[in-house]
Structure 1
Amino acid sequence: MHDSKSQLSKLLDAAERGEDVFITRRGSGVTRFRISPAPAIARSALFGMLASEVPSDIDFDAADRALSESLQASLERDL
């Protein structure tokens, strides 16, 4: 067990190469490393997954116009 703690990255590398890696404690098996492929995530699940969380009624164009008008007014005051 102690050796496995200090050699964990090497043991994981071996498991990635397809080697069987067993961890034992005082001669009896504790665990076995096996590399499992990551579950496939559908592309549709990645894009748009926050659609119901973000308000869709925000008028970004109006915010841009308001900011532009505010900046323009500030510049005109400074002249």
Structure 2
Amino acid sequence: MTLDTDIFQTLIKMPESLKKEILHYAEYLLEKHAKIESSQEQLEQFHRYGSWSGQIIMSDDFDEPLEDMKEYM
């Protein structure tokens, strides 16, 4: 048997009140899943290669030795 068949056969045995609760819970799960997927897609679109290009500015002497390290060099 498949999972769908098992779920369907279990639902048939339940009273109407429980079926309504299951329907509400299933709708809640679908809504929650859709929100999670959309937030993950937004993160993937934001964090693409080169998304920080031009936003990070480094000083001209970035590669120069630090003053504190001169005695060790």
Taking structure 2 as the reference length, the TM-score comes to: 0.32
Question: Higher helix fraction: Structure 1 or Structure 2?
Answer: 2
Taking structure 1 as the reference length, the TM-score comes to: 0.31
